[in-house]
Structure 1
Amino acid sequence: MVHPPEEQRVFREWKQQGPTSAAQARAMAEDFMAVVGYGDEKQREAVLLVVSELVTNALRHGRGVTAFRLSHDTRGLTVSVRDAEDRPPREQPLDPGRPGGFGMHLVRSLTGGVEVLRRPGGKSVRATVPRPCVGSRL
């Protein structure tokens, strides 16, 4: 009997020295994607947008980033941002007359969904940018 190969998961986690800005988090994600071999430009851009939005939300509404984790497996690249606020992110109604409030809509459209895990002392917000199918574009 032949068993399918185990799913390989590669991750990098920053707990004590997480990003203090969205720009720093994007640089960390760029380094991680270079290590795991993300060459698809559209997928790289999607990951960087998700990183920016989740980290910015944690800094602006979650009392700072307390942990930052990037992981890669056959499904795609998962971004997980932990902050010190226990309230889940709120998705604002889209209003072109109001600045901001579209970040979670953007994250959901790039990932298909956001998972919020309550933790002692805060929460983790996690989203996976799927790997493009062979022969398709993200």
Structure 2
Amino acid sequence: MSDSSLRAVGWARSLPLDSSIKAARDWTRDHLRSLGWTESAPETVDAVLLTVSELVTNAHVHAHSAADLVLTWDSTCLHVTVHDSSPRLPTPRPPDTERSGGRGMLLVDALAHTWQARPCPEGKMVHACFRPPASG
């Protein structure tokens, strides 16, 4: 009989409104280091860290909410998920030279292999998937 269960490793952290984005990035970097990505996939690490910064900032600034950050590695994709208490889904907006902000989801769209946002009972979850480059 074949075991078709998924093997994954994951971490979760709640980041209250008064926590820094640096704390989210440092926590994420430590877990990516434990996967060996800081040496083997530094460009992917940079993309993940920028995405974490954007998603946690969105939770804090736009949702006025704590951010629950979950990282899950399933040997194919690093899933980065941020939950906040706002039901309002993010959407990429066209760049606007008159505003200094508003480009976060455009960055996530450019950096992640895939991303999605969906409502959940107490807010929303924004999920991005990252695949490291194939080793060869």
TM over 0.5: yes
Please state whether the residue corresponding to 2:22 is helix, strand or coil. Answer: helix
- Over residues 96-130 of structure 1, what are the superposed CA-to-partner deviations in whole Å (9 max), with x where a residue is unaligned? 34211111111011113321121122111110122
Q: Note the 1:82-121 alignment, pairs <5 A.
A: 82-121=83-122
Q: Which residue of 2 aligns with 1:9?
A: 8
User: Does the 8 Å contact 2:114/2:130 carry over to 1?
Assistant: no
Q: Which residue of 1 aligns with 2:82?
A: 81
- Over residues 7-28 of structure 1, what are the superposed CA-to-partner deviations in whole Å (9 max), with x where a residue is unaligned? 43110012xx435221111011
- Count of aligned residue pairs for this structure pair: 132
**How well do the aligned residues superpose, as a CA RMSD in angstroms?**
2.1
How much does 1:4 deviate?
8.5
User: Does the 8 Å contact 2:71/2:81 carry over to 1?
Assistant: yes
Q: 1:96 to 1:112 in 2, by over 3 A?
A: farther
Task: Give 1:31's aligned amino acid.
Answer: D
Q: Which residue of 2 aligns with 1:71?
A: 72
Q: 1:4 to 1:43 in 2, by over 3 A?
A: farther
Q: Note the 1:28-67 alignment, pairs <5 A.
A: 28-38=27-37, 39=39, 40-67=41-68
Partners of 2:104 and 2:51 lie apart in 1 by 9
Partners of 1:48 and 1:102 lie apart in 2 by 16
TM-score normalised by structure 2 residue count: 0.85
User: Does the 8 Å contact 2:112/2:130 carry over to 1?
Assistant: yes
Task: Give 1:94's aligned amino acid.
Answer: P
Partners of 1:79 and 1:120 lie apart in 2 by 19
TM-score normalised by structure 1 residue count: 0.84
Runs of 4+ in 1 over 4 A off after TM superposition: 3-7
Aligned identity (percent) is 35
Q: Which residue of 2 aligns with 1:23?
A: 22
Please state whether the residue corresponding to 2:114 is helix, strand or coil. Answer: coil
Unaligned runs of 5+ in 2: none
Unaligned runs of 5+ in 1: none
Please state whether the residue corresponding to 1:114 is helix, strand or coil. Answer: strand
Partners of 1:102 and 1:71 lie apart in 2 by 25
